[in-house]
Structure 1
Amino acid sequence: MKRHPGGRTLMQDPTMVEPPEGLAGLLRRHQRAMGLPVRTFAARLGVSTSGAARLLRGEPAPQGAVRAACDYLARLPLLPDPPPGVVPLRDMDALVLAGGESSRMGAAKPLLPFGETTLVGTVVARLRPFFRRVLVVSREPGQAAGVTADAVTDGREERGPLVGLVAGLRASGAAWCFAVGCDMPSLDISVIGLMASHIGASEPGNVVVAHVGGRLQTLHAFYGRTCLRLGETLVGEGNTSLRALFPRCSVLTVAADLLRALDPGLQSFRDIDTPADLEAARQAAGLSSREGA
């Protein structure tokens, strides 16, 4: 490594790799928004000027430069004063959907023990330091018991994740919300930040969602305010599937390879459906079965 004249460490890595899909376009958008020449933008990324130029052109670049660029983008929505075109997480709300059936688990998932708290408590604790508010949306207020979050009851006979999303968006009022399931205890704020860095005035999308494991991760996604009206219409038609919302929206998809730069195993997107899933998640978190019981 060497030092940039401004004192920042520059990443040097002889291993050249193809940049993940979407990285070049995202970097160019942020570079234009800040009006920075390549050399100055490279210093912000912490990479060499040639490495930054390669990244901006979408060409093979040093592996360390790719990681540094992803780290940089993930931090932007977390900054107290982010650059132009970046919507900070502190201006958004997080919606934790806790109204599922839990049929394969055999017990209500939100309140299952996980370490010193519950599944829903773990998810809320990961999100609360970064978002304006965290709202737990469920059919019954008791699903948020013992959790420091706003409880929202969907209050409808219809059941389905879209019902919960609509209730959460209505209660929030924020321009953007991050929606996630209550059964995803391995959330990574850097992955969430990298997804949020796609949101901006120049982007037409009103959904930002990851494409992981061959499908869209609808319960680890950002939803714009316009989704409320569209969702209400669908629920009124008897359609409560989140996927039904997507053909009616402008959707910006984040490729899995881009997220792997920060979360190689994509553990952030693992949900818990069965007792075996729960035990595996406890082990991955370094918890014993006794600590989770």
Structure 2
Amino acid sequence: MWKFFKTAVILAGGKSSRMGFDKQFLRINKVRIMEKLIHELSKEFEDIIIVTNKPEEYKKDGVRIISDEIKEFGPLSGIHVGIKQSKSRYVYFIACDMPNVNLNYIRYMKKVLTNSKANACIAKRKGKFEPFNAFYSVDILPKIEKRITLNRRSISGLIDIIEPIFIEESVLKKYDYSFNMFINLNSKEDLEIYNRKNKQEENYV
């Protein structure tokens, strides 16, 4: 039976030049972010996919490990293969450098998309899209493949043509006032700041 919200995809690609090492191996308090993401997402999704250029680095217990079919298109390549391999109409996408999973917000997006004809559910704040921590429909696969054929890599360009539902900032704040669920750890400085903040919160508790 075709399900609406069965599959979640973690994108673990990227060159990680600013971090200095491959971000898919990031650790917070000695725990790999990837392990944390799998643990949290498994509470809400039956099928979890990791899209990685280093499949040999992963155990396959409980998750599916796949690689880009079409190389050198950045995150668009990951969205492409994730949608092709999905077991549900809508696919949840998050990046491997996003350490904060907000299950309540994910459930809210599911409600928004239920009985909707939208091709995606994407956050929008300060006039910009948040392409991850978002849902995309398998129906957009032809549009992705057309953009790849035209050598267009921009995810924002894709979002412009797929008729998504946008979640506005006022609603986002109800689920995460500080927008921590959209944090990306792009550099060593980002990682240090995040670790310091976590330690402060632990000490406060």
User: Is residue 120–residue 144 contact of structure 1 (8 Å, CA) maintained in 2?
Assistant: no
- SS of 2:66's partner is strand
Q: In 2, distance between residues paired with 1:192 and 1:264?
A: 15
1:112 aligns with one of 26, 29, 33: 26
Counterpart check, 1:258 vs 2:171: yes
Structure 2: give runs of 5+ residues left out of the alignment.
none
Contact 1:162 1:240 in 2 (8 A): yes
Asked if 1:209 is matched to 2:87, the reply is: no
**What's the counterpart of residue 181 of structure 2?**
268
Q: Relative contact order: is structure 1 or structure 2 higher (C-alpha 8 Å, sep ≥ 6)?
A: 2
CA shift for structure 1 position 272: 0.6
Q: State the AA in 2 paired with 1:208.
A: C
Aligned to 1:31: none
Q: Is 1:159–2:73 an aligned residue pair?
A: yes
* Cα distance in 2 between the residues matched to 1:106 and 1:210: 29
Report deviation, 1:229. 1.8
**TM score, norm. by length of structure 1:** 0.63
Q: 1:129 aligns with which of 13, 26, 43?
A: 43
- Is the CA contact 2:26–2:97 (under 8 Å) kept in the aligned structure 1? no
Query: What secondary structure does 1:193 align onto?
Result: helix
Question: How far 1:122 moved relative to its partner?
Answer: 1.8
Counterpart selection for 1:180 from 86, 94, 97? 94
Query: Relative to structure 1, is the Cα distance of residues 116 and 187 closer, same or farther in structure 2, using a 3 angstrom cutoff?
Result: same
Provide the C-alpha distance between the structure 1 equivalents of 2:118 and 2:169, rounded to a whole number of angstroms. Answer: 18
Distance 2:130 2:166 in 1: 10
In structure 2, the partner of 1:96 is 10
> How far is 1:183 from its partner?
0.6
* Structure 1 residue 108 displacement after superposition: 0.2
- RMSD (Å), alpha carbons: 2.2
Structure 2 length-normalised TM: 0.87
Retained in 1: the 8 A contact 2:122–2:129? Answer: yes
State the alpha-carbon separation in 2 of the partners of residues 147 and 186 from structure 1: 22
Unmatched 5+ residue regions in structure 1?
A: 1-87, 289-293
Q: Alignment partner of 1:285: what SS?
A: helix
Give the deviation of 1:145 after TM superposition.
5.1
Q: Is the 8 A contact 1:184 1:271 kept in 2?
A: yes
- Residue-pair matches, total: 199
- Give SS of 2:184's match: coil
Q: Which residue of 2 aligns with 1:222?
A: 135
1:74-85 alignment runs, 5 A limit: none
